[in-house]
Amino acid sequence: MKTLIKNATVMLPDGPQKTSVLIEGSQIAEIDPAESVEADEVIYAYGMHLMPGVIDCHVHMRDPGFTNKEDFRSGSKACAKGGITTFLDMPNTNPETTSQKMLEEKLMLASHKSLVNYGFFIGATAENMKELKNATRTPGIKIYMGSSTGDLMLDNPAIVEAIFAETKLPIAVHAEDESIIQKNLSECPNTRNVMDHSKIRTEEAEVACVKRAVQLAKEYKHRLHICHVSTAAAVAEFEDHADLITAEATPHHLFLNKDDYMKWGTLVQMNPSLKTAEDNAGLLQALLDDKIQAVATDHAPHEYSEKCKRYPESPSGVPGVETMLPLMLDMVAKEKCTLEDVVHWLCEAPALIYDILEKGRIEVGYDADLTLVDMNKTQTLRGPNLITKCGWTPFEGREVTGAPVRTWVCGQEVYNDGKFDESRPGVEAMFDHSRGGYWAGLDD
């Protein structure tokens, strides 16, 4: 099967170019093919932008164990609608992904249910060092250095240090210092006020934990990725990166802050907590300065009824896979960044950070994971319009310009303007960690 996407503005590694792309089977076969080229299907994309499919390197698809919140089918459909063609899923499912056996069971489950490509982190516990040392088919090890949803917290300093010392896979951390969280909590033990969430999970808690993780990465020369950075102050701890350290920001930490509790209450409760408007600006600047390399959703759906419980019974986390790309394209429309920046943060950087093979760029021989975007389409983000099972968004009512309209996964069109083709599943993303990650790959 050959598909020709004709006359789009194609976001190539060297910059945008008005041209055509030929897909053959699951791969990108030709860029700028001859006028005479033949194809089974021709898509006229004049006026549209063709970008690599988004790689969301931080999601919680809740499968297995919490499929009332999401599952691989609903979550992957939501991804396809949001222009995401590959997701990397976190280990706080039930059972937790803490062994090769569980990892492979999840891969098997996703192979039947997911419409987009997938990969799974292995979670660190106090007991699974052997599994962490030997794990394969994974983007890396996730360490919850502070508590969050689930029971995967690992705040024993000796064990965390041993993982940095003895394992080889990239390490991704949730960095909030548990002792500082507990100290802050003891100062408002009976709080029912969600605003206290940001007084418990403070900038100080994030900075202290990031500092420790950075020290360990440097001491053991171990690659480290800092998930969902929420403060500008934390960025200062790793901006020299030592060719080892990368970080991600989420749309909620870029576009929401403590003032949003007034309007949205526990709906905007997440870990790390929301911080200040200065942090919003600081995180965007850090992305522009390549001090933070990627944007990822931390898609963490919870049912609306669960989120409406009174704090602190309300769970932390917000959904994001359908809203990330529209929100980022809107930043392009507002001239806060360029479309090249968005492609770098959402596609190219995640592929480099986790050594994903043949993804994240529009290049001959790469997988035909592609997203067609209409930079002129304006929409209002609304929970009931979403595919995610949770059906609500912390960005309710925002008007955004720029939207994904069609999505191809391995050459197969899975989403076209509101309609899905569910006939073919996505495939497992492949990782080659000998590539050495973002800083090694950036020079190519």
Catalytic positions are 298
Minimum distance of ligand DOR from residue 90's CB (angstroms): 7
- The token pair at 72 is 């691989």
Site membership for ligand DOR, residue 128 (CB under 6 A): no
> Of 20 and 149, which CB lies nearer to ligand DOR in the complex structure?
149
> Is residue 60 a contact residue for ligand DOR (CB under 6 A)?
yes
Q: What minimum distance in Å lies between the beta carbon of 416 and ligand DOR?
A: 31
Q: Which does 6 bind (CB under 5 to 8 A by kind): ligand DOR, Zn ion, none?
A: none
Instruction: For the CB of residue 182, give the shortest distance to ligand DOR in the complex, in Å.
Output: 17
Q: How far is CA 226 from the centre of its chain?
A: 12
Give the CA distances from residue 290 to residues 174, 294, 399, 438, in Å, rounded to whole numbers and listed in that order.
20, 9, 28, 11
**C-beta of 99: minimal distance to ligand DOR in Å?**
19
The residues near 127 (Cβ < 8 Å, ≥ 6 apart) are: none
CB of 145 to ligand DOR, least distance (A): 11
Contact 292/254 with Cβ under 8 angstroms? no
Per DSSP (E only), the strands in 364-439 are 370-380, 399-409, 412-416, 419-420
By CB under 6 A, what part of segment 312-331 binds ligand DOR? Answer: 316-317
Q: Which does 85 bind (CB under 5 to 8 A by kind): Zn ion, ligand DOR, none?
A: none
- Write the DSSP symbol of residue 348: I
Residue 113's alpha-carbon distances to 65, 86, 107, 376, 444, in angstroms, are 15, 14, 10, 33, 35
**Binding positions for ligand DOR, 65-104, rule CB under 6 A:** 92
Nearest residue to 374 via CA among 404, 400, 398:
404
Instruction: Name which of 49 and 253 has its Cβ closer to ligand DOR.
Output: 253
Does position 253 bind ligand DOR by CB under 6 A?
A: no
Structure tokens at 183: 């100290």
Contact call for residue 413 and Zn ion (CB under 5 A)? no
298 binds Zn ion (CB under 5 A): yes
With CB under 5 to 8 Å by kind, the binding choice for 114 among Zn ion, ligand DOR, none is: none
Q: Find, among 198, 175, 191, the residue nearest to 258 by Cα.
A: 198
Total residues contacting Zn ion by CB under 5 A comes to 1
Residue number with CB closer to ligand DOR (53 or 91): 91
Site string for ligand DOR, 142-181 (x = CB under 6 A): ------xx------------------------x-------
CB nearer to ligand DOR: pick between 148 and 323: 148
Q: What is the C-alpha to C-alpha distance for residues 145 and 185, in angstroms, rounded to an integer?
A: 17
Q: Where are the alpha helices (DSSP H) in 271-317?
A: 277-288, 304-307
CB of 8 or CB of 59, closer to ligand DOR? 59
Q: How many Å apart are CA 285 and CA 356, to the nearest integer?
A: 26
What is the enclosing helix (H) or strand (E) of 248? Answer: strand 245-249
C-beta closer to ligand DOR: residue 235 or 300: 300
Radius of gyration of the chain (CA): 21
The residue among 90, 57, 49 whose CA lies nearest residue 359 is 57
Which of Zn ion, ligand DOR, none sits in contact with 230, Cβ below 5 to 8 A by type?
none
d(CA 409, CA 371): 9
Report 285-314 residues binding ligand DOR (CB under 6 A). Answer: 300
Binding footprint of ligand DOR on the chain (CB under 6 A): 60, 92, 148-149, 174, 270-271, 300, 316-317
